[in-house]
Amino acid sequence: MSNDVVRKPLMSGNWKMHHNHFESIQYLQKLAYLLTKEDFAACDVSVHPPFTDIRSVQTLIDADELKVSLGAQHCHWDDKGAFTGEVSPAFLSKLNVQYVICGHSERRELFGETDADVAKKISAIQKYKMTPIVCVGETLAEREAGLTTQKVMGQVRSALDGRSSEQIESMVIAYEPIWAIGTGRTATSSDAQAVIGAIRAQVLEMSGVKAAQSVRLQYGGSVKAANIAELMAQPDIDGALVGGASLDSAEFARIVQFRLHRTP
């Protein structure tokens, strides 16, 4: 579809269960050294450390006035309650968290999160003026059975159902094929574009032109510096949700600087 809205790329580093708070501070100091003001002008950057690191990372971002946005990997949908081990979105917002990942495939596959759970989390995240990064994707078995579109669009419809155009415009949706996460396998740029383009078409159908043009769509799944430029050359890919490659500050910096490493 034609696009009159400039969508600034968003590169998000999901550290998963890696880096203690000392390591996170060191990492972020190195990342800030490697990135320039031109990089931040061209690309939004978020980091998503473990919960135990968030306060330390927030303090560093605030003290040094870093242009990196603080993100979380997960939250509960309630403000408070008897939910041992969970984290309230209200608590995250008090720490100046700006982005919260929800529906990540590992949460869905390992911890049983349903589409209904994800939808409730989206509402909670937006209630506190944070931006949800909503993950969708298919397993290898589903892909081989030709069920990619059915699975992914079902997840997208569940995430968007009942939301206003304004709520959807500010969202991020990350297509992360489960078969590509941590395996070294990556969807070809054309395959990634096909699914992400279909997601944008689904947003258009459900919420109209403005939402479809404004929503940012990421790709996730073995993203690294060697393949990011090719992925970002696709018209509907607005950034990346980066796992393993984001654990090294130099590699993640090169991903953020994808525009500098395109093949002529």
List helix spans (H) across 128-257: 140-144, 148-160, 165-169, 189-207, 209-214, 225-232, 249-256
Mean pLDDT of 155-178: 96
Distance CA 129, CA 90 (A): 10
Residue 12 CA to residue 183 CA, distance in Å, equals 19
Q: Which residues of 47-82 are buried (b: 16+ CB within 10 A; e: fewer)?
A: bbbbeebbebbbebbeeeebbbbbbbbbbbbeeeee
Whole-number Å distance between alpha carbons of 135 and 74 = 11
pTM: 0.95
pLDDT of residue 81 exceeding 50, the answer is yes
Q: Which residues are catalytic?
A: 104, 176
Integer Rg of the chain from CA: 17
Q: Identify the band that residue 6 occupies on the pLDDT scale cut at 50, 70 and 90.
A: confident
85, exposed or middle or buried, with CB in 10 Å at 0-12, 13-18, 19+? exposed
Other CB atoms within a 10 A radius of the CB of residue 22 amount to 10
Give CATH superfamily name and number for 10-260. Answer: Aldolase class I (3.20.20.70)
Task: Give the whole-angstrom CA distance, residue 12 versus residue 9.
Answer: 10
137-165: average pLDDT? 95
Which residue has 């949460």 as its token pair?
107
> pLDDT tens-digit profile of 187-232?
899 999 999 999 999 999 999 999 999 999 999 988 999 999 999 9
159's CB contacts (< 8 A; 6+ apart) are 103, 115, 118, 119, 122, 134, 136, 173
Answer whether residue 181 shows pLDDT above 90. no
Percent of the chain with pLDDT over 70: 97
Contact status, residue 43 vs residue 252, Cβ threshold 8 Å: no
In terms of Cα–Cα distance, which of 81, 98, 99, 77 is closest to 89?
77
* pLDDT bracket for residue 264 (50, 70, 90): very low
Structure confidence at residue 5 (pLDDT): 66
- State how far the Cα of 246 lies from the Cα of 100, in Å rounded to an integer: 16
Q: What's the confidence (pLDDT) of residue 4? A: 55
Q: In the chain, where are the structural domains located?
A: 10-260
pLDDT of residue 3: 52
